[in-house]
C-alpha cells in the first residue's frame, strides 16, 4: 500500500483506550476482530483515525451526523400501543467495514440466489413443475396467503417477477455468511441507506474522502435506468406507489421519489381507464406503465385481492393481467418471503442448477414432514419454532413467535403436542448467533450483534448489488433486540476497496431547502389538493392570529372586552364567544394543524425547511396554549408567531420552484386572503360597524404604513376600500390577489380549449373584471359579498377540475 498513513500493524498505544472494553463473546464472530483476536486489516486505518480524536472531537462529529439527519427530516414511524409516532432515525455512528474480497463473495452468492428465486417464483405462477416433481409440498403454496391466485398464469410485463429485492444476511460463528431472509415483495431501507451514508460521511468527512469506500449512487442510477427502459412512452413518469404517510417508512418513499425523479402516488391517485393504469393529475388522466410498488401486494386491489383494503386501486390486477403495467416487484412475488421456503430452497437449487447455494440460508425444517418434525423436536433447544407462513424476518417478529423461550416455557410436552397437531403450520429454524460489530458507547467501542441488509436491483446488464449502506445493530448484546421497533439501531456499511473506487455523481441527494419538482407536468390531483389547502390553512391561521393580536392589543390598552370594538372582533372575525386567550388560540391552532397534516401528505413536494418552519410555529402555538398567559402578553406573543409564520410564507415565495404545485399552494393562499378581506371590508362597511373599525381593518390588513404613505390622513371608508380592495400594488388587497390568482390560473393546464375558456378560467376572468371596474365609491358591502361568493365558486371549480 502506498498510503503513508497506513501503519504496519495495530498500534497498541493509540488504540488501547478505545478498545479496552471491547470484548467479543467467545464463540461469536466479530467484525472488528478476526478469529485469532487480531483487528481485521480493513478496520485498521479507521480505528486508528478514531483513536486520534478526543472526546469533544467525537461528540462534535456525532452531532454533525445527527444534525444532518434532523435537517433532512429523516424519520420513521414507531407503532406504539395507542398511536404511531414519528421517531428520529436511529443511526449508530460507527459504520460496519467489510473488505472488497469478503463483499465480492457475498454479492456473487446473492446474485446466484436472486436468479434462483426468480426461477422459483416464475414456476409458482407458471408451470408448477417444482410441485409436480415433488420439490415443494402443494399445501405450502395453496394455503399460503402470499400466493395470490389472481396472478397465476400472468406473465410480468417487465419480463421478470423480481426487479428490486433485498436479503438479510448475517455472519455465523464459523465466519461463514448466511441468508436470514429474502425480501421479495416491497423491501424497504434503500433510501435510508443513502441517508446513513450521507450522515456517516459527515461524521468522518476526511477519512471517508480518502478511504476507498464504494459509493452508492451508481446502484440507484442503474436501477432507474432499468425501470426507464420498461416505459411505454418517453414522457411518462415512473410512479412510486406508497401506502401513504401513516406507513412506518413513508419518509423513505417520499425521499426516493424525489431522489430518483419519480411520481409519488397513493392507490387513490391511480385509476384504471380504458384498459390502462393512469394517474389522476392536474392535467387529467396520464398513463403509467411502470409502477415501483412499495405497498404490500395484498392491499393493491380491493376488487381482486384483499377486499378490505382502502389503500389500493380497484382494477389494478386486471391491468397487470393484461400486461399493461410493469409492477416492480410483480404482484405475488412476496410468496418467496415465506419462512418455510427456506427449508426447500437448498434442494431446489440442486434440482434446478445442479449445485448447492454458495451462500446458504439458515437451516430450516418444515414440520409438516415426519422426519423433519422429529429432528426439530429432538433439537428443540437449538431451534426457533415459528409459523411456516410468516414472512417477517427472524428476530423481527413482534409477539415473540420466533423466540424459542416462549414455546419452551410451556414445557417439552407442549412443544411435542404442538408439532404433532400443528406441524404443517410450523417451521423449526436453527438459532443463528450473529456476529458483533462495534458501536459507540460511553466513550468507547462495544460489540453488538448485527445483520446486513443487502439490496439488489435488476438493470439492463443484469443484477446489480448495492455496495453496503445498511446494517441493523441490536440495542443490547442480544440478537433479539435487533428490530428497530425494539430499539435497535442502523449503521452505514462501508465496502472498502484496495484501490480507488468510481465516484458517480449523476444523482446528487436532494438538497434540503430547495423543493425539487422534476415532474411538474404531472402533478397528482391529490397532491394539488393538499398543496392548495396547505396554502389556505396557513393563510387562515395568519388571519386569525392578526385578529387575535388586535383583540388582545385593545384589551391590554385598557379597553374592556365588552366594549363595541372587541366584541366586533370576537363575533365577526374570530367567531368565538369566549375571550379566554387559550380558547381563542384554537382559532389559529386548528388551521395550523390542518396545514401540517396537508404538508405531511406531500413530503415529496414541499421542502424540508418549509415543513420544519411550520412545525416550529405549531410548537410555539402549543406552548402558548399550554401555559396560560396574561392578557398583556397575548398580543406580543402573537407578534412572534406571525413573524415565524411569515418565515414559511417567505420560503414558499422565495425558495420554491415555480412548479404547478407551487401555483396551487400560492393560489390557496390568495383565495383565502382575498375572500377573508372581502368579509372584513364588507362587515366594516356595514352601517352598524363600531367606531375604530376602519383603523382595525388597516391593522388586520397590515396596511397602516401603506395607507399613511398614500393618503397622509386618517382612514375614511373610501381610502380603506382603495388600499385594501383596489390597490393592485398592495399585497394585502383583494385586487392584488385576484391578479395573482389569474396569473396562476392562466398558467394551469386545460384552461382553454380552442377559443373557449374553461369554467375555471371564465369564473376567474369574471371575478377579476368585476372588481377591476369598481371604484372606491361603488364597491359597497353588497358588492363585496357578491365578490366573495364568486371567489368561493372559483375555489369549488378549481377543486372539481384539478383536485379530484
Partner 1 sequence: MLYDIRLELSHSYAGRASGARHLTRVVPATLPGRQVVRTSLLSCAPLADTRHGFRDFFGNEATVFYHDRPHDEMIVTMQARVQCDAPEAQLDMSPDRARLAQEIAQVSSLGSDAPHHFLGPSPRVPVRSELAQFAREVVAHTRGGVLPQMQALGRALHKEMKFDASATTVETPMIEAFEKRHGVCQDFSHIQIAALRSLGIPARYVSGFLRTLPPPGKPRLEGADAMHAWISAWCGADMGWIEYDPTNDLSIETDHVVVAYGRDYSDVSPIKGVLRTAAKGTSAQGVDMIPVERAA
Residues contributing to the site for partner 1 (CB under 8 A) = 128, 131-134, 138-139, 141-143, 149-150, 152, 271-275, 302-304, 306-307, 314-315, 318, 321, 804
CB nearer partner 1, residue 275 or residue 714: 275
Q: In whole angstroms, how close is the CB of 138 to partner 1 at the nearest point?
A: 4
Q: Is 351:116 a contact under the CB 8 Å cutoff?
A: no
CB nearer partner 1, residue 136 or residue 213: 136
Q: Could you list the beta-strand ranges (E) of 154-288.
A: 164-171, 177-183, 239-241, 263-265, 270-273, 276-281, 284-287
CA separation for the pair 409, 321 (Å, rounded): 48
Q: In whole angstroms, how close is the CB of 143 to partner 1 at the nearest point?
A: 3
Task: Tell me the torsion sign for CA atoms 475, 407, 168, 309.
Answer: negative
Q: In whole angstroms, how close is the CB of 389 to partner 1 at the nearest point?
A: 9
CB nearer partner 1, residue 45 or residue 266: 266
CB nearer partner 1, residue 121 or residue 141: 141
Q: In whole angstroms, how close is the CB of 303 to partner 1 at the nearest point?
A: 5
170: which residues sit within 8 A by CB, 6+ positions away?
177, 178, 180, 432, 434, 435, 450, 451, 452
Q: How far is CA 685 from CA 702, 705, 717, 784, 785, in A?
A: 18, 21, 7, 10, 11
**The C-alpha cell of 320 is what?**
397487470
* Angle at 167 (CA atoms; ends 162, 169), nearest 5 degrees: 160
CB nearer partner 1, residue 128 or residue 358: 128
CB nearer partner 1, residue 156 or residue 332: 332
Q: In whole angstroms, how close is the CB of 203 to partner 1 at the nearest point?
A: 49
Q: In whole angstroms, how close is the CB of 276 to partner 1 at the nearest point?
A: 10
Q: How many CB atoms lie within 10 A of CB 511?
A: 12
Q: Is 239:290 a contact under the CB 8 Å cutoff?
A: yes
Instruction: Estimate the crossing angle of helix 734-747 against helix 759-772, to 10 degrees.
Output: 150
CA separation for the pair 338, 780 (Å, rounded): 72
Q: In whole angstroms, how close is the CB of 142 to partner 1 at the nearest point?
A: 3
CB nearer partner 1, residue 63 or residue 143: 143
CB nearer partner 1, residue 128 or residue 679: 128
Q: Is 245:268 a contact under the CB 8 Å cutoff?
A: no
Q: Is 320:331 a contact under the CB 8 Å cutoff?
A: yes
302: which residues sit within 8 A by CB, 6+ positions away?
308, 309, 310, 312, 314
Q: Could you list the beta-strand ranges (E) of 127-262.
A: 164-171, 177-183, 239-241
Q: In whole angstroms, how close is the CB of 265 to partner 1 at the nearest point?
A: 16
CA separation for the pair 586, 574 (Å, rounded): 10
Could you say which DSSP state residue 601 is in? Answer: T
Q: Could you list the beta-strand ranges (E) of 397-461.
A: 426-430, 436-441, 444-459
CA separation for the pair 12, 769 (Å, rounded): 83
Q: In whole angstroms, how close is the CB of 373 to partner 1 at the nearest point?
A: 15
CB nearer partner 1, residue 140 or residue 570: 140
Q: In whole angstroms, how close is the CB of 284 to partner 1 at the nearest point?
A: 12
Q: In whole angstroms, how close is the CB of 794 to partner 1 at the nearest point?
A: 20
Q: In whole angstroms, how close is the CB of 664 to partner 1 at the nearest point?
A: 20
CA separation for the pair 166, 456 (Å, rounded): 6
CB nearer partner 1, residue 324 or residue 480: 324
> Dihedral angle at the C-alpha atoms of 747, 751, 754, 756, nearest 10 degrees?
-130
CB nearer partner 1, residue 18 or residue 316: 316
259: which residues sit within 8 A by CB, 6+ positions away?
191, 194, 220, 507, 509, 510
Q: In whole angstroms, how close is the CB of 257 to partner 1 at the nearest point?
A: 24
The torsion angles phi and psi of 660, rounded to 5 degrees, stand at -60, -35
> Dihedral angle at the C-alpha atoms of 628, 629, 635, 641, nearest 10 degrees?
-60
CB nearer partner 1, residue 121 or residue 791: 121
CB nearer partner 1, residue 80 or residue 308: 308
Amino acid at each position: 500500500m502506498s498510503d503513508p498513513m497506513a501503519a504496519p500493524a495495530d498500534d497498541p498505544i493509540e488504540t488501547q483506550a478505545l478498545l479496552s472494553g471491547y470484548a467479543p463473546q467467545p464463540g461469536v464472530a466479530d467484525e472488528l476482530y478476526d478469529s485469532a483476536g487480531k483487528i481485521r486489516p480493513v478496520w485498521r486505518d479507521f480505528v486508528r483515525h478514531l483513536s486520534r480524536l478526543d472526546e469533544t472531537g467525537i461528540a462534535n462529529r456525532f452531532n454533525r451526523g445527527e444534525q444532518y439527519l434532523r435537517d433532512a427530516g429523516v424519520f420513521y414511524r414507531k407503532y406504539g400501543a395507542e398511536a404511531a409516532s414519528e421517531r428520529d432515525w436511529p443511526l449508530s455512528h460507527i459504520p460496519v467495514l467489510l473488505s472488497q474480497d469478503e463483499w465480492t463473495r457475498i454479492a456473487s452468492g446473492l446474485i446466484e440466489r436472486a436468479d434462483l428465486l426468480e426461477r422459483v417464483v416464475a414456476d409458482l405462477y407458471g408451470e408448477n413443475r417444482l410441485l409436480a416433481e415433488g420439490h415443494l409440498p402443494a399445501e405450502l403454496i395453496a394455503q399460503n396467503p402470499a400466493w395470490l391466485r389472481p396472478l397465476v398464469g400472468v406473465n410480468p410485463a417487465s419480463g421478470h417477477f423480481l426487479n428490486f429485492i433485498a436479503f438479510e444476511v448475517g455472519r455465523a460463528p464459523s465466519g461463514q455468511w448466511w441468508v436470514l431472509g429474502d425480501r421479495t415483495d416491497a423491501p424497504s431501507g434503500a433510501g435510508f441507506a443513502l441517508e446513513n451514508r450521507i450522515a456517516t460521511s459527515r461524521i468522518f468527512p476526511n477519512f471517508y474522502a480518502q478511504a476507498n469506500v464504494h459509493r452508492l449512487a451508481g446502484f440507484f442510477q442503474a436501477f432507474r435506468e432499468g425501470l426507464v427502459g420498461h416505459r411505454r412512452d418517453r414522457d411518462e413518469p415512473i410512479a412510486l406507489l406508497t401506502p401513504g404517510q401513516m406507513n412506518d417508512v413513508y419518509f423513505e418513499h417520499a425521499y426516493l421519489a424525489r431522489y430518483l425523479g419519480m411520481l409519488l402516488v397513493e392507490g387513490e391517485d391511480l385509476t384504471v381507464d380504458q384498459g390502462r393504469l393512469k394517474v389522476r393529475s392536474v392535467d387529467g388522466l396520464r398513463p403509467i406503465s411502470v409502477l415501483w410498488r412499495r405497498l404490500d401486494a395484498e392491499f393493491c386491489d380491493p376488487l381482486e385481492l384483499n377486499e378490505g383494503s382502502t389503500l389500493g386501486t380497484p382494477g389494478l390486477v386486471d391491468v397487470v393481467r393484461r400486461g399493461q403495467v410493469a409492477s416492480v416487484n410483480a404482484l405475488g412475488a412476496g410468496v418467496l418471503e415465506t419462512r418455510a421456503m427456506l427449508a426447500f430452497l437448498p434442494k431446489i437449487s440442486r434440482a434446478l442448477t445442479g449445485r448447492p447455494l454458495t451462500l446458504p440460508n439458515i437451516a430450516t425444517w418444515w414440520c409438516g414432514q415426519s422426519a423433519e418434525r422429529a429432528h426439530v423436536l429432538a433439537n428443540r433447544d437449538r431451534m426457533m419454532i415459528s409459523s411456516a407462513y410468516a414472512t417477517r424476518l427472524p428476530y423481527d417478529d413482534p409477539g415473540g413467535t420466533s423466540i424459542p423461550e416462549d414455546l419452551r416455557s410451556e414445557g417439552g410436552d407442549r412443544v411435542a403436542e404442538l408439532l404433532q397437531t400443528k406441524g404443517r403450520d410450523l417451521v423449526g429454524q436453527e438459532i443463528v448467533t450473529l456476529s458483533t460489530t462495534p458501536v459507540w458507547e460511553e466513550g468507547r467501542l462495544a460489540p453488538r450483534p448485527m445483520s446486513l441488509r443487502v439490496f439488489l436491483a435488476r438493470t439492463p446488464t443484469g443484477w446489480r448489488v448495492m455496495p453496503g449502506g445498511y446494517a441493523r445493530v441490536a440495542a443490547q448484546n442480544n440478537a433479539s433486540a435487533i428490530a428497530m421497533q425494539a430499539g435497535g439501531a442502523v449503521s452505514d456499511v462501508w465496502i472498502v476497496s484496495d484501490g480507488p473506487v468510481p465516484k458517480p455523481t449523476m444523482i446528487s441527494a436532494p438538497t434540503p431547502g430547495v423543493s425539487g419538482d422534476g415532474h411538474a407536468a404531472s402533478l397528482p390531483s391529490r397532491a394539488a389538493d393538499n398543496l392548495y389547502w396547505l396554502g389556505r390553512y396557513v393563510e387562515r391561521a395568519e388571519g386569525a392570529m392578526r385578529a387575535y393580536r388586535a383583540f388582545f392589543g385593545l384589551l391590554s390598552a385598557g379597553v374592556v372586552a365588552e366594549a363595541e370594538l372587541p366584541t366586533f372582533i370576537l363575533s365577526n372575525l374570530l367567531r368565538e364567544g369566549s375571550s379566554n386567550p387559550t380558547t381563542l388560540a384554537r382559532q389559529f391552532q386548528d388551521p395550523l394543524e390542518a396545514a401540517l397534516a396537508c404538508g405531511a401528505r406531500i413530503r415529496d413536494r414541499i421542502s424540508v425547511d418549509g415543513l420544519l418552519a411550520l412545525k416550529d410555529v405549531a410548537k410555539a402555538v402549543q406552548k402558548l396554549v399550554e401555559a396560560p398567559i396574561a392578557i398583556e402578553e397575548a398580543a406580543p406573543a402573537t407578534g412572534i408567531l406571525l413573524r415565524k409564520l411569515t418565515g414559511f410564507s417567505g420560503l414558499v415565495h422565495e425558495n420554491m420552484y415555480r412548479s404547478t404545485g407551487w401555483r396551487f399552494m400560492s393560489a390557496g393562499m390568495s383565495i383565502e386572503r382575498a375572500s377573508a378581506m372581502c368579509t372584513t371590508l364588507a362587515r366594516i362597511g356595514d352601517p352598524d360597524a363600531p367606531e375604530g373599525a376602519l383603523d382595525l381593518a388597516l391593522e388586520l390588513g397590515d396596511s397602516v404604513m401603506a395607507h399613511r404613505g398614500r393618503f397622509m390622513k386618517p382612514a375614511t371608508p373610501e381610502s380603506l376600500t382603495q388600499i385594501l380592495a383596489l390597490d393592485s400594488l398592495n399585497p394585502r388587497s383583494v385586487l392584488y390577489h385576484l391578479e395573482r390568482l389569474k396569473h396562476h390560473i392562466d398558467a394551469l393546464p386545460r384552461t382553454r380549449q380552442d377559443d373557449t375558456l374553461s369554467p375555471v378560467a371564465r369564473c376567474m376572468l369574471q371575478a377579476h373584471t368585476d372588481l377591476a371596474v369598481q371604484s372606491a365609491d361603488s364597491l359597497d358591502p353588497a358588492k363585496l359579498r357578491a365578490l366573495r361568493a364568486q371567489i368561493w365558486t372559483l375555489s369549488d371549480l378549481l377543486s372539481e377540475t384539478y383536485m379530484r
